[in-house]
Structure 1
Amino acid sequence: MNITKPTLLLNEQKCRLNIEKMIARSKHLNSSLRPHFKTHQSKKVGEWFKEYGIDKCAVSSLEMAKYFYNAGWVDVTVAFPLNVLEYTTVNDLAGKIKLSLCIESLETVQLLNDFLEHPIGVFLKIDAGYHRTGLDAENFEKIEPILQALKSNPLITIKGFLQHAGHTYRAKGKKEINKIHAHTSEKMIRLKNHFQNQYPDLIISNGDTPTCSVSENFEHIDEMRPGNFVFYDVMQAEIGSCGYEDIAVAMACPVVAKHPDRNEVIIYGGAIHFSKDQIQKDGQTIYGLIAEPERKGWGQPKEGWFVKKLSQEHGTLHVPDQDFDSIKIGDLLYILPIHSCLTANLMSKYYTLDGEGIEMFRYQS
């Protein structure tokens, strides 16, 4: 493959191994796996899941649900608060697939009841500690009237409670991931138990890659909904969700300039390719790590090499003194992204190590 510009490479072997491992974990933990497809956003990668027997998924938008319906997925949860302005899309999809939506207010339920034409499942989106959005897991008085309003509509099946423990992404290792998981799980189980006599079929859906990758106690957690695990990234490796050898995507970027006076190398690859996600490590702000090239693909990060700054198209690398002269203008460097979800979304296409192009979902205007 002739790479001439920033190109997102996908190691199919590593990706498939990540899928296999998560399926094995879900079976070991006795928790149903509904992978979140917002990371890879690809019909092709979705087919790999089907090969392993996965027949349901989660997505982050109704438009993405349409994309995967067209790829043959007919059991789809939109794990994002319902946008009531998309009511025509809701009714179109609900008439074709087993669609589940997320709500978090009585006002949304009332609007949903006004326009809904076909059967759907509904999860209450719960905030069990991340504080991004969702209902307070301990506010039973607020949750009760929402459940009653949902129950009043014969087209709605109440599925249960859905949460995303996104604060695990700020954890400092497996011990802290497990502590967060225990805390959020306790809240979710207490919530389910409170309402289970009235609603005996409620399930708990848990959806973050760190806990699904490392935590062992999923008792009473009925569904796992991780997404990032399919590729992993630098952030996940640093917090202990995976090893660097598990990262299945890397950006190939051309070297376009060198500045010996400040030990900086400039690559064609900036914020429009990687986003501006970052980690702090050893007192440095890092926007990506440079991996050792291998005969086919990439290996571990190079010691002391990192992306120190991003602008729109430029990436500025720090390179150790002893390695600077080894870099030539026109070289291709493999950059491991901090956050593979945003990097993949920005690039909108992958290439396998064999040069096969893999298209992704793109929002329609």
Structure 2
Amino acid sequence: MYRITKPTLLLDKKKAIQNIKRMAEKAKSSGVTYRPHFKTHFSQEVGEWYREQGVTSITVSSIDMAVFFAGHGWDDIIIAFPVNVLQLDVLKLLAKQVKLGLVVESQQVIESINSEIEESVDIYIKIDTGYHRVGIWHEEVNDVKGLGESVAKPHVFKGLLAHFGHTYSEIKKEEIKSIYQYGVGALNKLRDAIDKNLKISIGDTPSCSVMDSFENVDEIRPGNLVFYDIMQVYIGSCQYSDIAVCLAVPVVAVYPERAEIVVHGGAVHLSKERLEDAEGSYFGKVVALEEKGWSAPLDNYRVKGLSQEHGKISVPQNQIEKIKVGDVLGILPIHSCLTVNLMKEYMTLRGEKIGTMHL
């Protein structure tokens, strides 16, 4: 492998494209629109890999991200985050450039859109089906209907949008499927009570990964699946072999007496996302770097602690003598979205650099 001298986010392009293609084919066979969330990769080049699979509409999580991808030729964009009325001036310009979808949950925001944005935008009302982050509870039919009726021309009340984020708290596929089925059922019941022509848009990587097909929805918006991560393996959404990013970290200190090493790879590279097992918290899985990528996770290696730049890894006693300062290991991240956001750049397995909107 090419020479690595500092924390470097490696990207296996082949795996990422396989992940994109798998979901695109599942969406196509189900007759639904695949509107992937681009908040995981943040990259114009990675976005083109979706376009090669027939994707023409995307989801983003911020107005700045919408501006970035609009500047790279994407012209059908939903901002799947409640409208920030302090950025209405930017939305007014964006609405002139692309087919824009906005997510709302309050009368105040609808009134601001009606009065401030002249170009037509599609309005999606955010519905809460159990995650309890944002949105109107799905049983509040009159509230949703009233909000939809307050959308004034030229704007269009386009649909109901939900994120089944509580799937991330499950570790059994049947429980994930149950959350999906409940959410889809609730959205369809709500749509039937308001307007059967409304679109239903759903999106979360766990349910989109474990479901075999997507009945009674119009579009899916998963994002993390392009790279997956340890959290998704833990949930049951994917296998280790599907993970398409790995943080390469140089070894900077070795402590045989306590069977630990320290690497240059800390919270500013991985975030402090963690998972728990019988031994406590861990912050990623250690792998060996290989000529064509990386190995499966190494047995009994444990990323046990992170500070700003330091990563502390416990190593089996019979392996510690083999590790030297200057060696480079890999860490599969707990949450790839945050790791990408922090690292801001990829290096492919061929040594090519790929930037993100943050550079």
Q: Shorter-chain TM-score: which interval?
A: over 0.9
Superposed CA deviations along residues 299-329 of structure 1, whole A, max 9, x for unmatched, are 2111111211111001111212222112111
**Paired residue secondary structure (1:321):** coil
**Paired residue secondary structure (1:303):** coil
Superposed CA deviations along residues 185-237 of structure 1, whole A, max 9, x for unmatched, are 221111111112xxx42111111001111113521111110000000000001
Backbone CA RMSD of aligned residues: 1.2
| Aligned equivalent of 2:101 | 100
Do residues 346 (structure 1) and 357 (structure 2) align?
no
Using the TM superposition, name which of 236-245 and 169-178 deviates more.
169-178
Using the TM superposition, name which of 97-106 and 314-323 deviates more.
314-323
Q: How does 1:255-266 map to 2 (within 5 A)?
A: 255-266=251-262
| Aligned equivalent of 2:48 | 47
Do residues 305 (structure 1) and 301 (structure 2) align?
yes
Displaced runs of 4+ in structure 1, greater than 6 A?
none
Do residues 141 (structure 1) and 137 (structure 2) align?
no
1:277 and 1:287 map into 2 onto residues whose CA distance is: 6
Superposed CA deviations along residues 28-72 of structure 1, whole A, max 9, x for unmatched, are 222210000000010000111111111110000111111101110
Q: Is the 8 A contact 2:59 2:77 kept in 1?
A: yes
1:186 and 1:247 map into 2 onto residues whose CA distance is: 31
| Aligned equivalent of 1:227 | 223
2:284 and 2:294 map into 1 onto residues whose CA distance is: 14
1:202 and 1:145 map into 2 onto residues whose CA distance is: 14
Letter in 2 for 1:333: L
| Aligned equivalent of 2:72 | 71
Using the TM superposition, name which of 204-213 and 166-175 deviates more.
166-175
Which ranges of structure 1 fall in alignment gaps of 5 or more residues?
A: none
Letter in 2 for 1:105: S
Question: Identity of paired residues, percent?
Answer: 44
2:253 and 2:115 map into 1 onto residues whose CA distance is: 59
Q: Is the 8 A contact 1:206 1:225 kept in 2?
A: yes
Q: Is the 8 A contact 2:102 2:121 kept in 1?
A: yes
| Aligned equivalent of 1:20 | 21
Report the TM-score, using the length of structure 2 for normalisation: 0.97
Q: Is the 8 A contact 2:228 2:336 kept in 1?
A: yes
1:217 and 1:19 map into 2 onto residues whose CA distance is: 16
Do residues 331 (structure 1) and 327 (structure 2) align?
yes
Report the TM-score, using the length of structure 1 for normalisation: 0.96
**Paired residue secondary structure (2:69):** helix
| Aligned equivalent of 2:11 | 10
| Aligned equivalent of 1:277 | 273
2:202 and 2:217 map into 1 onto residues whose CA distance is: 7
2:241 and 2:335 map into 1 onto residues whose CA distance is: 16
Q: Is the 8 A contact 1:173 1:238 kept in 2?
A: no
Deviation at 1:262, TM superposition (A): 2.0
Letter in 1 for 2:65: M
1:328 and 1:231 map into 2 onto residues whose CA distance is: 30
Do residues 38 (structure 1) and 39 (structure 2) align?
yes
1:323 and 1:158 map into 2 onto residues whose CA distance is: 61
1:180 and 1:306 map into 2 onto residues whose CA distance is: 32
Q: Is the 8 A contact 2:27 2:213 kept in 1?
A: no
**Paired residue secondary structure (1:5):** coil
Which ranges of structure 2 fall in alignment gaps of 5 or more residues?
A: none
Do residues 161 (structure 1) and 164 (structure 2) align?
no
